Amino acid sequence: MKKKILILLAVLIGVYVVFSVLDSGEYRVEKKMWQLQQKFSEIAQDPKAVPPRQFDMMIARYRALAEKHPESRYVPQMYALIGALYVMNKDYESARTAYHAVVDQFSQSPDVVSKALLDIGNAYMLENRVEDAVEVYLRILKNYERTETGFKMPMLLVGLYRNLGQETEVRQYLVQAERFYRGIAVNDEENELLRITASQALASVYMAQQRWEDVIKTLKGVLEEYGDSRFMNPKRLSVITRALNIVYIGRLRDFDRAIAMYESFIDEHPGHVLNPYLTKVIESIELLKEYKTEAVVPEK
């Protein structure tokens, strides 16, 4: 029996060793990243209190990890964190160099490159170099418009100029954004997810232009056209109904139209998976309407 127990012990050790050796995945990188991430979070809590040597040490560790595992899918994240450490240390030039490393190394991956470019642009913004930042943002818009980052770029530019109080540029980019999003939203050859997202982005452009009826028309269209889509998940539906409610109730003060729109969707799509949610939305609006009416009566 002693022998059997020893065999079982050997099996346990053997299984551990064999599976550890066979593991060709990213587990070790993930583990190291997690450990570094813990230290990164400590630094990020109060970067001013961190001595420069500690920044250098962390950056060296990330660099060593990236060099040790050059094929890892976490390499862009490593460089992004190196850049973030430089930014925290207010060394923006070095931060951009780190982000550029991602741009050069992953030039075949538009998603990764566009994110790194966005970081470069943001680093310029932190230095108040608006023109340089805009140049990078425009580069993303021009070359990577179909990536997640590129898709947000027109509205990011609108926000940027709005913060700067440059209304001419705001209008210019709103027009450009409208053209861009509408082009995708109405193009049947584009994939469904992109068209839904473009329609939502188009609604936010109209919202920024205070074109309330266009917001309603666009989002109502999304509900009607993509109500059965697998991409119409609860989160997206919640975003759409919230935007519609802001317009109907917050801006137009028209509770009845909001209720009528949701009711018409439920009537036209009996048994639809979204109906219970929309019913709750209707109930909330009715409650709000009742509350508002009661609040208004004494004033009369």
Partner 1 sequence: MSTKISVKHSLNLLGNSIALPFKSPQILYPFGILAFIQVFLMEIIFFATRMPLVKIFGPIIERLRGPIFLHYPFNFDLLANIFQAFQPFVFIFISSIIIGKAVVIVVQLNEGKGVDQMPKLGLKTCVNLMVAFLMIYIIASGFVAGYDLLIRRAVRIRSTAGFYFLIKQAVLIGAPYFNLLFSIIITTLLAYLVPLIVLAKQNIFIALWTNFKMIGKSFFMLLIIIFISSLFYVPVLLIQSNQQWLGSFLSIEGWQIFKIFSVLLLLFIDAIQYTAITTCYLLTKEE
Which residues of the shown chain bind partner 1 in the complex (CB under 8 A)? Answer: 1-2, 4-5, 8-9, 11-12, 15-16, 19, 22-25, 27, 30-31, 34
How near is the Cβ of 78 to partner 1 at its closest, in Å?
Answer: 15
Report the residue number, 73 or 217, with the smaller CB distance to partner 1: 73
Yes or no: say if 180 and 197 are a contact pair by the CB < 8 Å rule: no
Complex with partner 1: residue 16 or 291, whichever CB lies closer: 16
In the complex, the smallest distance separating the C-beta of residue 42 from partner 1, rounded to whole angstroms, is: 11
Q: What are 135's two structure tokens?
A: 């140049």
Name, in order, each residue with C-beta under 8 angstroms of 262's C-beta and a sequence gap of 6 or more.
241, 278, 281, 282, 285
> Could you give the CA distance from residue 97 to residue 76 in angstroms, rounded to a whole number?
13
Query: Of 15 and 164, which has the nearer Cβ to partner 1?
Result: 15
Query: Which long-range CB contacts under 8 A does 62-70 form with residues at least 24 apart?
Result: 62/36, 65/29, 65/32, 65/33, 65/36, 69/28, 69/29
Q: In terms of Cα–Cα distance, which of 99, 12, 187, 227 is closest to 91?
A: 99
Q: How far is the CB of 196 from partner 1 (least distance, A)?
A: 22
Closer to partner 1 by Cβ: residue 3 or 300: 3
Q: How far apart are alpha carbons 226 and 222 in whole angstroms? A: 5
- Rounded to a whole number of angstroms, the minimum distance from the CB of residue 18 to partner 1 is 9
CB of 7 to partner 1, least distance (A): 10
CB of 24 to partner 1, least distance (A): 5
Instruction: Find the DSSP H helices in 127-230.
Output: 130-143, 148-164, 167-185, 192-208, 212-226
| Cβ atoms 116, 79 nearer than 8 A | yes
CA torsion 253-255-258-261 (nearest 10°) is: -130
